A and B are shown apart, each in its own frame.
Chain A
Amino acid sequence: MKKAAAANVESSERNLAAIIDTIPTLAWTVLPDGSNEFLSKQWEEYTGLTVDESHGWGWQVAFHPEDLPRVMEKWRKMLVSGESDEIETRLRRHDGVYRWFLIRAQAFRDDSGNIVRWYGTSTDIEDRKKAEAALQASERNLAAIINTIPTTVWTTRPDGYCDFLNQVWLDYAGMTPEQAQGWRWAEAIHPDDRKKLVEDWQACLASGTPVDAEARIRRFDSSYRWFLIRGNPLRDESGNIVKWYGTCVEIEDRKRWEQILRARELSWKQIVDNIPGLVATTGAMGEVEFLNRQTLEYFGRTNEELKEWALIGAVHPDDLPRLIEVRKKSIETGRIYEVEHRCRRADGVYRWFQVRGLPVRDAENKISAWYFLLTDIEDRKRAEEDLRTRELEARSLLDNMPGFLARLSPDGTTEIHNRPFLQYSGKTLDEIKKWTTSDLIHPDDLVHTIEVFGNGISSGQPFDHEGRLRRSDGIYRWFQGRAVPARNVEGKILHWNVLLTDIEDRKKAEEALQSSERNLRLMISAIPTFIHVLSTDGSVLNVNQAVLEYTGLSLEDVRKEDYRTRIFHPEDVERLREERREALTRAVPFDNEQRVLGKDGKYRWFLIRYNPLLDEQGRIDRWYVAAFDVEDRKKAEEALQSSERNLDVMINTIPAMIHTARPDGYLDYFNRRWLEYLGCSLVDVEGWNWTAWIHPDDVKGIVDKWRACVASGDIFEYETRVRRADGQYRWMIHRKVPLRDEHGNIVRWYGTSLDIEDRKRAEAQVEQAYLRLAEAQRLSKTGSFITDLLVDDHNWSEEAFRIFEFDPATKVTVQKIRDRVHPEDLPYFDSVIASGMQGIDVDFVFRILTSLGAVKHVHGVAHVIEQIAGRPLFIGALQDVTESKLAEEALNRARSELAHVTRVTTLNALTASIAHEVNQPLSGIVSNASASLRFLVGDAPNVEEAREAILDIVRDGKRAGEIITRIRALTKRTAAPREKLDLNETISEVLALIGDEAKRHSVIVRTQFANALSPVAGDRVQLQQVVLNLVMNAIEAMSDVGDRPRELVITTQNVGDCVQATVDDSGVGIASDTVDKIFDSFYTTKTSGMGMGLSISRSILQSHGGRLWAVGKDAPGTMFHFTVPKYREEGAHGPAT
């Protein structure tokens, strides 16, 4: 058994050894002293040391030198303590490489507890160590990372207890790990966020869902910043959470942005919802996505409903098709979509909207959405319509205003012109637009106009300008144009409005005024008189150039208050002050004399005349003052005064009646003789008192004449009766002569008077005789004249003047007379004068035209009475024979009228016959015409017949025409001039008229015309009237004849210087005692008729210079003869009357 047991032990030992040698660890035993007892085979294999080498203390060589001290130290402690322990050390492998081993030793004790041996293992932990090292390294790295990354990292246990926070976190929070670990980190969370965060965290812990929360975490400086806290659970294979890993990412900025964005979004949303527009967005294909509040409110529908907008009547049916079309196109092309259509409001009313859709593109430029804006343009549309209407109205107003209006764009381009302008200029709008280069504006005004226009447009200020515009007929007229800019609320110019006003007339008036003003100014400046214009109070309004030059003052100085004292001599100013002031209040001209200071410093005397200008009410408007330099005169006056005194003595001595007067007519001196003659003293006669000595009837005359001469300066001469001292009035002639200074101004009048009583008496007689003659002349309307023709000296009586309506004061000349002569009679007048020039007596009649244009007939004779120095002196008379001429003419006219009436009456009586006369050829015409038609119809038209018929028609037509013509001629009133006539022809024409009449009365008319009958001068119609009259009378005379043929024979022949015609009838004849009476007016044997025919006929022939008479004959009947003078060339038929 023991063998078995021993064998067992042996085998188990062997097994044990096998195990020990196989297990992957180095096993060994050590005696209690520490020396090695046993080493497994592994040891040998590993270290390469044999057992022998390793027994005892040999094993030490395998230990890394760095580790050995530590190992020995620990081993000794162990040996002593007997406590098991372990240590890590490096052991050298057989190839020299050290590897870590974990050495474990355990003491084996016996029953007494004494350590028998130590048992130990050395396990290769090199890989583990390496791993450890790696792990440590990586742990270090990790830690580094974890502590460096800008994210806070944390981990917690599954229960949420935070067991790690990285450095970043700690640095940020300013906490130590102890302060933060566990749940203490929550203190760093913002109080407002803490609760939620913790709750969320706990919820996540419970549910295992990842944490995703935001919270503010307190920074080390106590400020809070937003963090995104994320945590993920780590699960084992059972799914249980073993740890939580998390980060806190700072999102402060992001959070802020978020807030801003949210705020913005809010405001955007508010905007979108509140803008006065309907906003909608759709997807790329147009499906409705978003509609703002306005849209929903407007349509009164929900977002969902409006997705089907096309179907719910949101858009007006009339607009829908168009809208859909445009949308489709827009979506296809991706172009901006713009359309106007009516949208149905919630209350059912349709309003116009303008819809704009913009496509939104993504990064690939594909359309991702559409944004739409719908703007309510209902009002705008209405406004547009109103505007259009108003525009039309404005347009029509524009076009119908009596002014030219235009509208220009802000840059000055013409946009519109109203119709009146277009009509005026005759141009089209396009032509007007090119006004800068056309002839619309007068060439002389064009350049300046363009300038003003350009400046005005660029300045933006209203401007106006005058220029001439061309009218459609080419005439230029002045226009004033005014351009005013129209601005919008911001002050920007929208357009220019231009008004053009025709100022041609005004311009013309202006020009006229300007030129007259110029003239006036020139005049005033030119005249060498000093002119002031004063206001009613005497202050100066204006002066002319002469004043300024003389005084050396300026216009300003003149207007100053001290002007008067400055320029006028102080003595004179004083002297005249009151007088002047008073005179200025009266609206009466006055004058005075003052000394004026010239620019040379010297005073000169001036006569100053003041003339008031009165308004319609007679109040003084202003004073016109003229000043005349009278210095020299004044000097002369003084000299004169002194010499006068000398003179006085002289004057009183000479035996003449002498007086003198002042320039104003005031008689201031009568010499002694005068005073003795009158028997008075100077006081009684000076001034104007002398008039008391003038015969009452003469006073006015002399005073007027004297005043006139005083004013005009002409030599005065007048005769009056003057009362002598003894009371008797005797005729005197007064003569006064002015004395002038070197300027020609009258200084004094010198006069003498002479007794002419006797002469006057003689004169009176002559006067009487003359008056009687004049009276006679007046009565007979005869004026007389004595003319020395060759020197054109005429002495005419009053009546002669009156006839010619010349002013008696006129000096008569041949030219003056000629000027009055009727233009038509001028040649005649000239021939009369020519005859007179040759000294031949003349007898003349001509017409004159008075100043009023009336015609007078003047008949005169002039006869040579004597020759003066070889020139004939004519004495003659003229007579106004107008009345008798007029009467004569009236008579002629009455006669002519009567003749006309008679003619017409006769013709009227002949109407039936005349009608018949015309009817004959007419009848022929009709028959011929009808025949022609008939000849031309049918198979074989007879053209020849037709042709001949037509020739006849022409002939008959002419015949009819002639008859009419002749009748017309006869019915015309006469006053045809005399013409050259063939009496045969003239008579034939009449006979053609009365042919039928004769036939009706069964009268046979025969003519015996002379072949070479001379032509006569006469009025055809009048002569025909005579023939007509005679022939009608003849027919009438034969109307009752039955027993003999009724024959009327008309003969013509030349007799001397006349042509004679005879109308011979076989009628009842005329008794020899009435053969002349028949020509009396109103004599008739007929029962009807006035009996004027023959008397008129006779007067016609008489006016022709011929005769008419009747003669009885042996056979029954009467012969009427008339003669007409032959026609003579060269106007020997008297003046045209």
Chain B
Amino acid sequence: MGQLREPEAVIAIVDDDPSVQRGLQRLIRSAGWKAETFASAQEFLARSRVESPNCVLLDLQLPGLSGLDIQKRMAEVGLEIPIVFLTGHGNIPASVQAMKAGAVQFLTKPADEQELLQAIEEAVERDRRMRQQHVELSQLRGRYESLTPREQEVMQQVISGMLNKQIAAELNITEDTVKFHRGHIMRKMRADSFADLVRMAENLGIPSDRRSAQT
């Protein structure tokens, strides 16, 4: 208790009950995080677009949209903030749905302090990892963008498991060239191995079907 966690991690609290808001806010502050409170989904979504918090404590019952709706909406708009549900009405279907939809934790009010803080920590960690992944992915994308169109083409063929010969035949270039391109690709993509490359391609969402590759 009292250890400083990730400095300046911001936890969003979405609950329309002032007692609950104040309590949670104080608790989060006591744990060393920053808290921001919102009384409705709209307020929260609006703010999150500007600057997204590291974690959100979400009540199920809110005026207008319910908590689950917000979860869905966030997913739709690509807000990947980890959610910890904190609600007065716990029922199993809701909790299952929430967890399936990717919530970090589903807690009922009044929540055990330890459980709550732990969940928030987990969420913040997840958020940190996600942000990290995003960074990595954009870097990866950058590297891919740096490939020439031909190189991109070749890469696609390569990851589909085609042999150099086959690629050469397909693209009407020499095998040597293929190898040449391959080397460039490996280097530019900074792949250590073929498997690595395949993984990167997966991450980038490059299709790896062999349909186009098979004759």
Q: Which residues of chain A have a CB within 8 Å of any CB of chain B?
A: 912, 915-916, 919-928, 930-935, 937-938, 942, 945, 948-949, 952, 955-956, 959, 996, 999-1000, 1002, 1004
Q: Contacts of A926 on B, CB cut-off 8 Å?
A: 23, 110-111, 113
How long is the Cα–Cα vector from A952 to B25 in the complex, in angstroms? 12
- 8 cross-chain pairs, A with B, having the tightest CB-CB distances, nearest first: A927-B23, A924-B19, A934-B30, A924-B23, A930-B113, A923-B109, A931-B26, A926-B110
Whether the pair A920, B109 counts as a contact (CB closer than 8 A) is: yes
Q: Closest chain A residue to B65 by CB distance? A: A1002
Q: Closest chain A residue to B86 by CB distance? A: A923
Whether the pair B88, A949 counts as a contact (CB closer than 8 A) is: no
Give the contacts of B1-47 with A (CB-CB under 8 A). Answer: 1-2, 16-17, 19-24, 26-31
Of A915, A932, A952, the contact of B19 (CB 8 Å cutoff): A952
How long is the Cα–Cα vector from A336 to B192 in the complex, in angstroms? 125
Q: Contacts of A920 on B, CB cut-off 8 Å?
A: 17, 19-20, 88, 109
Whether the pair A916, B88 counts as a contact (CB closer than 8 A) is: yes
Of B20, B21, B63, B110, the contact of A999 (CB 8 Å cutoff): B63
A931-B30, A932-B30, A999-B63 provided; 20 other pairs, C-beta below 8 A?
A916-B89, A919-B110, A920-B17, A920-B19, A923-B111, A924-B21, A924-B24, A926-B113, A927-B24, A928-B22, A930-B30, A934-B2, A942-B30, A949-B23, A949-B26, A952-B19, A956-B23, A959-B19, A996-B88, A1004-B63
Q: Contacts of A922 on B, CB cut-off 8 Å?
A: 109-110
How long is the Cα–Cα vector from A56 to B24 in the complex, in angstroms? 199
Contact of B61 with A by CB under 8 A: yes
Whether the pair A934, B1 counts as a contact (CB closer than 8 A) is: yes
Q: Closest chain B residue to A915 by CB distance? A: B88
Whether the pair B30, A921 counts as a contact (CB closer than 8 A) is: no
Contact of B78 with A by CB under 8 A: no
Distance in Å: Cβ of A436 to nearest Cβ of chain B: 77
How long is the Cα–Cα vector from A322 to B82 in the complex, in angstroms? 98
Whether the pair A1000, B61 counts as a contact (CB closer than 8 A) is: yes
Known pairs A934-B1, A937-B2; A928 contacts B26 (CB<8 A): yes
Q: Closest chain B residue to A1003 by CB distance? A: B63
How long is the Cα–Cα vector from A925 to B109 in the complex, in angstroms? 11
Q: Contacts of A924 on B, CB cut-off 8 Å?
A: 17, 19-24
Whether the pair B63, A927 counts as a contact (CB closer than 8 A) is: no
Known pairs A912-B89, A955-B19; A925 contacts B110 (CB<8 A): yes
Of B22, B24, B63, the contact of A1002 (CB 8 Å cutoff): B63
Q: Contacts of A916 on B, CB cut-off 8 Å?
A: 61, 88-89
Q: Which residues of chain B have a CB within 8 Å of any CB of chain A?
A: 1-2, 16-17, 19-24, 26-31, 61-64, 86, 88-89, 109-111, 113
Of B27, B63, B88, the contact of A919 (CB 8 Å cutoff): B88
Known pairs A920-B17, A923-B88; A928 contacts B63 (CB<8 A): no
How long is the Cα–Cα vector from A214 to B111 in the complex, in angstroms? 135
Distance in Å: Cβ of B28 to nearest Cβ of chain A: 8
How long is the Cα–Cα vector from A927 to B22 in the complex, in angstroms? 8
How long is the Cα–Cα vector from A925 to B88 in the complex, in angstroms? 14
Q: Contacts of A999 on B, CB cut-off 8 Å?
A: 16, 61-63
Q: Contacts of B28 on A, CB cut-off 8 Å?
A: 931
Whether the pair A927, B26 counts as a contact (CB closer than 8 A) is: yes
Whether the pair B26, A923 counts as a contact (CB closer than 8 A) is: no
Distance in Å: Cβ of B64 to nearest Cβ of chain A: 7
Known pairs A934-B1, A952-B19, A952-B22; A923 contacts B61 (CB<8 A): no
Distance in Å: Cβ of B29 to nearest Cβ of chain A: 7
Distance in Å: Cβ of A409 to nearest Cβ of chain B: 81
Whether the pair B29, A945 counts as a contact (CB closer than 8 A) is: yes
Q: Closest chain B residue to A941 by CB distance? A: B2
Distance in Å: Cβ of A666 to nearest Cβ of chain B: 103
How long is the Cα–Cα vector from A952 to B2 in the complex, in angstroms? 21
Whether the pair B27, A934 counts as a contact (CB closer than 8 A) is: yes
Q: Contacts of A959 on B, CB cut-off 8 Å?
A: 19
Q: Closest chain A residue to B23 by CB distance? A: A927
Whether the pair A956, B27 counts as a contact (CB closer than 8 A) is: no
How long is the Cα–Cα vector from A915 to B87 in the complex, in angstroms? 12
Distance in Å: Cβ of A260 to nearest Cβ of chain B: 119
A-B CB contact pairs (8 Å), 23 listed? A915-B88, A916-B61, A919-B109, A920-B19, A920-B88, A921-B19, A923-B23, A923-B109, A924-B23, A925-B19, A925-B110, A926-B23, A926-B111, A930-B27, A934-B27, A934-B30, A938-B2, A948-B26, A952-B22, A955-B19, A996-B61, A999-B62, A1004-B63
Q: Contacts of B22 on A, CB cut-off 8 Å?
A: 924, 928, 952
How long is the Cα–Cα vector from A932 to B26 in the complex, in angstroms? 8
Whether the pair B20, A927 counts as a contact (CB closer than 8 A) is: yes
How long is the Cα–Cα vector from A324 to B104 in the complex, in angstroms? 98
Q: Closest chain A residue to B112 by CB distance? A: A926
Whether the pair B110, A927 counts as a contact (CB closer than 8 A) is: yes
Whether the pair B19, A931 counts as a contact (CB closer than 8 A) is: no
Whether the pair B26, A945 counts as a contact (CB closer than 8 A) is: yes
Distance in Å: Cβ of A317 to nearest Cβ of chain B: 78
How long is the Cα–Cα vector from A1079 to B159 in the complex, in angstroms? 77
How long is the Cα–Cα vector from A922 to B19 in the complex, in angstroms? 8
How long is the Cα–Cα vector from A945 to B24 in the complex, in angstroms? 13
Of B16, B19, B61, the contact of A956 (CB 8 Å cutoff): B19
Q: Kindly name the residue among B30, B31, B86, B89 whose own CB sees the greatest number of chain A CB atoms within 10 A.
A: B30
Whether the pair B2, A931 counts as a contact (CB closer than 8 A) is: no
Q: Kindly name the residue among B20, B26, B110 whose own CB sees the greatest number of chain A CB atoms within 10 A.
A: B26
Distance in Å: Cβ of B60 to nearest Cβ of chain A: 10
Q: Contacts of B64 on A, CB cut-off 8 Å?
A: 1002
Q: Contacts of B17 on A, CB cut-off 8 Å?
A: 920, 923-924
How long is the Cα–Cα vector from A899 to B67 in the complex, in angstroms? 37
Distance in Å: Cβ of A935 to nearest Cβ of chain B: 5
Q: Contacts of B110 on A, CB cut-off 8 Å?
A: 919, 922-923, 925-927
Distance in Å: Cβ of A950 to nearest Cβ of chain B: 10
How long is the Cα–Cα vector from A937 to B1 in the complex, in angstroms? 8
Q: Contacts of B31 on A, CB cut-off 8 Å?
A: 934
Whether the pair B23, A925 counts as a contact (CB closer than 8 A) is: yes
How long is the Cα–Cα vector from A959 to B63 in the complex, in angstroms? 21
Q: Contacts of B89 on A, CB cut-off 8 Å?
A: 912, 916, 1000
Distance in Å: Cβ of A706 to nearest Cβ of chain B: 94
Whether the pair B19, A935 counts as a contact (CB closer than 8 A) is: no
Distance in Å: Cβ of B204 to nearest Cβ of chain A: 43
Q: Closest chain A residue to B32 by CB distance? A: A934
Distance in Å: Cβ of B20 to nearest Cβ of chain A: 5
Whether the pair B23, A952 counts as a contact (CB closer than 8 A) is: yes
Q: Closest chain A residue to B17 by CB distance? A: A920
Distance in Å: Cβ of B159 to nearest Cβ of chain A: 50
How long is the Cα–Cα vector from A87 to B194 in the complex, in angstroms? 208
Known pairs A937-B1, A999-B61, A1002-B63; A923 contacts B30 (CB<8 A): no
Q: Contacts of A925 on B, CB cut-off 8 Å?
A: 19, 23, 110
Distance in Å: Cβ of A928 to nearest Cβ of chain B: 5
Q: Contacts of A933 on B, CB cut-off 8 Å?
A: 30
Whether the pair A928, B111 counts as a contact (CB closer than 8 A) is: no
Q: Kindly name the residue among A915, A919, A933, A935 whose own CB sees the greatest number of chain B CB atoms within 10 A.
A: A919
